[in-house]
Chains A and B, each alone.
Chain A
Amino acid sequence: MWRPSWRGNDERRKMAALLGLLVNPVAGMGGRVGLHGTDGTSRLAEARRRGAASVTTPRARRAVQRLAGRDIEILAAPGAMGADVMVAGGAEGRTLEMQVGPETTAADTQRAARLLADAGVALVLFAGGDGTAGDIVRTIGQRVPILGIPSGVKMRSGVFAANPEAAGELAAEFLARAERPVAAADVVDVVEAGTAPGFPGRPPDVELRGQASVPSLGAGRLPGPKSSSVLASSAAIEALCRAVAAELSPGTLYLFGPGSTTGRILDVMGLPSSPLGVDAVQDGALVGADLGEPAIVELMGLSPKTKLVLGVIGGQGFLLGRGNQQLGPAVLSRIAPEDLTIVSSADKLVALQPPLLRVDVGDEASFAWATGFQRVRVGPSRFMMMRVAGAA
């Protein structure tokens, strides 16, 4: 009878890909006891006092179970930071040599991420939330792609799979590819400073922490549509950014807001971008990088026309939030409504529940002209109508 030659003859599949596994065992512990994250040690102690148990560990194990028995070699952070979960999940691999104290800290996460990247892993699969993602990206940037097993309290960064099993499957699928396509994704975190109650139903303010490289797989599960992962198709974004770049008018000052999508537009123009800041471009040249409000206002004074290009930050639909003090009232009140372009991946907009874009610039009146419905450009010839609301 027929026997497949598939495994035997495909050289590519003989090479085991190296996966880095990193668990933040204390992430997410605040959620069940009413604390917003465990990012500070004082919060963690409070969470433990209130009786929280690790949320990440069982969720990470569910993801690892999807890797067991596959042709994947794991390099895990030690103990509770990965190796324990690897063994419990029935997967095989090695453990990173690294000393860890009894209570792991953000510094441990950062160190483990760097050591995994240095060891040449093809992907860092991590368990945690936005805080953990921020720690990793702060250390390794876009050197190595990362993928989150959702297990924190806050998961608004574009690096998380829909659930632990999907994370395991996506990781396995990504590693099995000959070419491993990646896309950039925003890593964000909630601004903790404003602990005031705010308006009911008002989403927390988010701040951009950096950009990660994430697997970009069209997960063609047959038959039927792909699983609804937040990981966007990089091809569509690429086409969008090329189109926007190609259509910039001469003699006009363009202000690019923060975020991965706006950064990509500068990339295709061959210009550097500041992921967290505002950059200015005129006639194909970068005329200002990571600008503050006074510098922007000064540039605007030198140009007959200024246009603003904004991306949508993270999973909360923020166009402008606390991370964007540079684009304050002094700038926004000088932009004409028709000179605003909003760019985003369609997936990011579809994931917004409710479908609202938000701004929080302190002075509501300065951006009132942009509220109501706006066309968001999601492809070269493709738009979505999105309602833009003030922060309230």
Chain B
Amino acid sequence: MTTAPEREAVPSPGARAAAGAAGAMPAPRRYHAAVWNEPLIMELGRPGRRGVFAPAVEPGIGALAGDPGALVPAAARRKAPPALPELSEWEVLRHYLRLSQQTLGMMGVSLFGTCTMKYNPAVSEALSRLPEVREVHPLQAEETLQGLLEVVYGLDLALRELSGMQQFVFQPGGGADASYLQACITRAYHDAQGELSKRVEVITTIQAHPCNSATAAAAGFKVITLPLEEKGYPSLAALESALSDRTAALFVNNPDDMGIYNPEITDWVEAVHRAGGLCFYDHANFNGVMGKIRAAELGFDACMFMLHKTFGAPKGGGGPAVGAYGCSERLAPYLPGPVVVLEDGRFHITEPAGGVGRVREFIGNFPQILKAYAWVRAMGGEGIDEASDLSVLASNYMGARLRRVPGVTRSHPSISGPRMEMSRYSLETLTRETGVTAVDVQNRMTDFGIDAFWLSHEPWVVPEPFTPEVGETWPKEDIDEWLAVLEFVCREAYDDPETVRTAPHNQSVHRVDSAHLDDPGGWATTWRAYRAKHGRA
């Protein structure tokens, strides 16, 4: 299967760049992913080959300790050695370098909505590799951790300024974990008031991240979901009819993924407070409102920031991540330890006496906390404010251009006006007219080095959705390139839908068949399971 740009004359890289600078739509980039046809690591190597060696045991130790086998009770000894590959160090390194080359990441243009893809400064990465970061144990005495504690404290102060909250902790290992912490704190708070047996309901909205309702349910709450209404957000009347003396909390984001800001949010918070519930602000979509609004001043009791999104720490394909959780004075007694405090010029670790204990071991993903701290210091207050300006500007620039692409419509077509730092769009028209779906377009765009766009969280309120987000990192040239590829693919869907439907064609592999992966006979999450089910290749 050949692709359109290969059939046509390919403009030189310089000509492409010049056209972009002149404001013209650049032609899609000529691109092909690396194809190494690399075997699985388990298929490589030879018996007896060695990679890394453990330090040899000194004769003195060997003499005193004796045969290591005899040090393990017979019933607890391993019988058969693990069937791991046997490789030299160089083979292992080269194998994973090849696999990294078959991973697009942000090497292309990644406008992945809801995740705020931005540049992760190299200096932060370098700093995170210092022994004072890597080789530090979390249970060391405070006096040997003053640097770590000061970074944690410094970031805590910065996030307090950004939110108006009283205290932050960084223990949650991601945004969902911070939402879970909120569920745990909601539990602890109402339990302390003696009301938990009654207050068993958490209210959220249909477009809030699935983790909000899922963590509330996992913590034992019943979940009440509000649908979106004509203004793009649920009505205050819907919320009020859901509220009662059974209400434990409201978990909500604002703006939402469609870029709609709920202007009644302060009325919401008041209504929930009147009913005796707590209000948690999932600040996943913070990038457009940094320095503009503060959660505490809107009345919220707690909020969450994702350091691996908004604060310049890398995504890593799904962590290590941090869901920074901040709360008001009212909820601070329920925070998990360790909490860092400054007293007499020294940093100390404290454990809130009535706190929820731990949602994860230790203080948090310190390298990511460090990167976020570095990002805040490098940006400064003005820089952070400007980053929101640019994010909202870029989002609306993109929106204006997107709505001219054939087959594309914006979510809530009846609501005009600007949106926040991202919005959700629909390819429903394209799908109806060509049979090409959003997933097809997503795959086809990767043929030009464009990282797959985000579709939508469940449920799909918008049909055939896609959700691009630019943020402050991506320059206009990259946005234009992204748009040009989208437009190219949408036009192609009308002219040659088969090429789009069978995409990708320029990737490391073709589209994966996942039809059998929910069947016990079809899935194989390990090589040994695959061999057992399907025989040795």
Question: Which residues of A are at the interface with B, using a C-beta cutoff of 8 A?
Answer: 1-6, 9-10, 12, 62, 162-166, 172-173, 176-179, 217-218, 220-228, 346-347, 349-350, 354-355, 372-373, 375, 378, 381-387
In the bound complex, do residue A220 and residue B241 qualify as a contact, i.e. CB atoms below 8 Å apart? no
List of B residues within 8 angstroms of A218 by Cβ: 518
Min distance, Cβ A328 to any Cβ of chain B, angstroms: 26
- What separation, in Å, do the CA atoms of A162 and B458 have in the docked complex? 16
B43 within 8 A of A: yes
A contact residues around B221 at 8 Å (CB): 381
B225 touches A228 (CB 8 A): no
Q: Which residue of B lies closest to A3 (CB)?
A: B537
Q: Is the CB of B459 within 8 A of A350?
A: yes
Select A385's contact among B242, B439, B515, B519, beta carbons within 8 Å: B242
Contact B206 A177 (CB under 8 A): no
Complex interface residues of chain B between 163 and 198 (CB less than 8 A to chain A): none
Closest residue of chain A to B43, judged by CB? A2
Judge whether B108 is part of the interface by a CB distance below 8 angstroms. no
- Residue among A4, A217, A228 facing the most chain B CB atoms (10 A cut-off): A228
| Nearest B residue (CB) for A170 | B515
Q: A26 to chain B: closest CB distance in Å?
A: 22
CA distance A9 to B535 in the complex (A): 7
Quick one: which of B217, B241, B521 contacts A10, CB cutoff 8 A?
A: B521
Contact across chains for A164 and B435 when beta carbons are under 8 A apart: yes
Contacts of B224 in A (CB 8 A): 375, 382-385
For residue B57, CB closer than 8 A to chain A, the reply is no
Given A179-B519, A375-B224, are A6 and B457 neighbors across the interface (CB < 8 Å)?
no
Q: In whole angstroms, what is the CA distance A107 to B437 when docked?
A: 35
Determine whether the beta carbon of B238 is less than 8 Å from that of A387: yes
- B247 neighbours in A (Cβ, 8 Å): none
**Which residues of chain B are within 8 angstroms of A387 by Cβ–Cβ distance?**
229, 238
Q: Does B391 contact A (CB under 8 A)?
A: no
Q: Does B409 contact A (CB under 8 A)?
A: no
Contacts of B43 in A (CB 8 A): 2
Which listed residue, B225, B459, B535, touches A382 by the CB 8 Å rule?
A: B225
* Bound form: Cα–Cα A24–B513 in Å: 31
- Kindly state the separation between the CA atoms of A62 and B227 in the bound complex, as whole angstroms: 34
The distance in angstroms between the C-alpha atoms of A56 and B470, with both chains bound, is 41
Q: Is the CB of A220 within 8 A of B518?
A: yes
Closest to A223 in B: B452
Please name all residues of chain A whose beta carbon is closer than 8 Å to the beta carbon of B227 when the two chains form the complex. Answer: 349-350, 355, 384-386
Q: Which residues of B contact A (CB under 8 A)?
A: 37, 39, 43, 206, 213, 217, 221-230, 234, 237-239, 241-242, 431-432, 435, 437, 439, 452, 454-461, 463-464, 501, 512, 514-522, 533-537
Residues on the B chain within 8 Å of A12, using CB: 521
A5 to B239, CA, bound (A): 55
Known: A162-B463, A225-B457, A346-B459. A176 touches B515 (CB 8 A): yes
Check A228–B226 contact: CB distance below 8 A. no
Q: Is the CB of A350 within 8 A of B230?
A: no
B242, closest chain A residue (CB): A385
Q: Which residue of A lies closest to B537 (CB)?
A: A5
15 new A-B pairs (CB below 8 Å) besides A373-B237, A382-B213, A382-B224?
A6-B534, A163-B437, A224-B454, A226-B458, A228-B464, A346-B459, A350-B461, A354-B230, A355-B229, A373-B238, A373-B242, A375-B224, A382-B223, A383-B223, A385-B239
Q: What distance in Å separates the Cβ of A241 from its nearest Cβ neighbour in chain B? A: 17
Min CB gap A224→B, angstroms: 5
Q: In the complex, which residues of chain B have a beta carbon less than 8 angstroms from the beta carbon of A178?
A: 519-522
Q: Name the distance in Å between B530's Cβ and chain A's nearest Cβ.
A: 9
Q: List 5 contacting pairs A-B, 8 Å CB cutoff, sorted by A.
A: A163-B432, A349-B227, A355-B229, A381-B222, A387-B238
- Would B535 and A5 count as touching, CB distance under 8 A? yes
A221 touches B514 (CB 8 A): yes
Interface pair A220/B514, CB less than 8 Å apart: yes
Contact of A228 among B206, B238, B459 (CB under 8 A): B459
Residues of chain A with a CB closer than 8 A to B431's CB: 162-163
Chain A residue at minimum C-beta to C-beta distance from B40: A2
Which chain A positions have C-beta within 8 A of B234? 385
Question: Within the assembled complex, what's the spacing in Å between the Cα atoms of A378 and B228?
Answer: 17
What residue of chain B has the Cβ atom nearest to residue A7's Cβ? Answer: B534
Interface pair B537/A165, CB less than 8 Å apart: no
The answer to whether A2 and B39 have CB atoms under 8 Å apart is yes
- Contact partners of B39 in chain A: CB under 8 A: 2
* CB-based contact B225/A384 at 8 Å: yes
A83, chain B: closest CB distance, angstroms: 22
Query: A166–B431 Cα gap in the complex (Å)?
Result: 10
A62 and B512 alpha carbons, distance in the complex (Å) = 21
A225-B460 contact in complex given A2-B43, A218-B518, C-beta closer than 8 Å: yes
Least CB separation from A347: chain B residue: B459
Residue of A nearest to B226 (CB): A385
A1 to B38, CA, bound (A): 9
Residues of B within 8 A of A378 (CB): 225
Chain A residue contacts of B456, Cβ below 8 A = 225
- B439 and A373 contacting across the interface, CB-CB below 8 Å: no
A163 surroundings in chain B (CB, below 8 A): 431-432, 435, 437
Q: How far apart are A371's CB and chain B's nearest CB, in angstroms?
A: 12
Rounded to whole angstroms, the CA-CA distance of A387 and B225 in the bound complex is 12
Q: How distant is A123 from chain B, measured CB to nearest CB, in Å?
A: 15
Q: How far, in angstroms, from A95 to B225 measured CA to CA in the complex?
A: 49
For A350, the chain B residues whose CB sits under 8 A away are 206, 227, 459-461
Give the nearest-CB partner of A162 in chain B: B463
Q: Which residues of A contact B217 (CB under 8 A)?
A: 381-382
B437 and A165 contacting across the interface, CB-CB below 8 Å: yes
Point out which of B221, B229, B537 has the most chain A C-beta atoms below 10 A from its C-beta: B537
Residues of B contacting A217 with CB < 8 Å? 518
Given the contacts A218-B518, A346-B459, A385-B242, A62 and B435 also touching, CB distance less than 8 Å: yes
Contact between B241 and A372, CB atoms less than 8 A apart: yes
Known: A172-B515, A387-B238. A1 touches B37 (CB 8 A): yes
Bound Cα distance A166, B520 (Å):
24
Closest to B210 in A: A225
CA distance A3 to B439 in the complex (A): 27
Contact call B535/A375, Cβ cutoff below 8 A: no
Docked-complex contact B222 and A383, CB < 8 angstroms: yes
Q: Quick one: which of A4, A166, A224, A355 contacts B537, CB cutoff 8 A?
A: A4
B222/A355 in contact, CB under 8 A: no
- Chain B residues closer than 8 Å to A383, beta-carbon distance: 222-225, 242
Q: Give the shortest distance, in Å, between B410 (CB) and chain A (any CB).
A: 16
In the complex, chain B residues whose CB is within 8 Å of the CB of A2? 37, 39, 43, 537
Q: How far is the CB of B481 from chain A (nearest CB, A)?
A: 23
Contacts of A176 in B (CB 8 A): 515-516
Closest A residue by C-beta to B227: A355
Candidates A224, A227, A347, A385; contact of B241 at CB < 8 Å: A385
CB distance from A59 to the nearest CB of B (A): 9
B463 neighbours in A (Cβ, 8 Å):
162, 228
* Candidates B225, B230, B534; contact of A9 at CB < 8 Å: B534
Nearest B-chain residue to A350, judged by Cβ:
B459
CB distance from B191 to the nearest CB of A (A): 19
B186 to A: closest C-beta gap in Å: 15
Least Cβ distance of A250 to chain B in Å?
Answer: 23
Partner of A222, one of B461, B501, B512: B512
Q: 9 smallest A-B Cβ distances: which pairs?
A: A373-B241, A228-B460, A355-B227, A381-B222, A9-B535, A350-B459, A173-B515, A383-B224, A165-B435
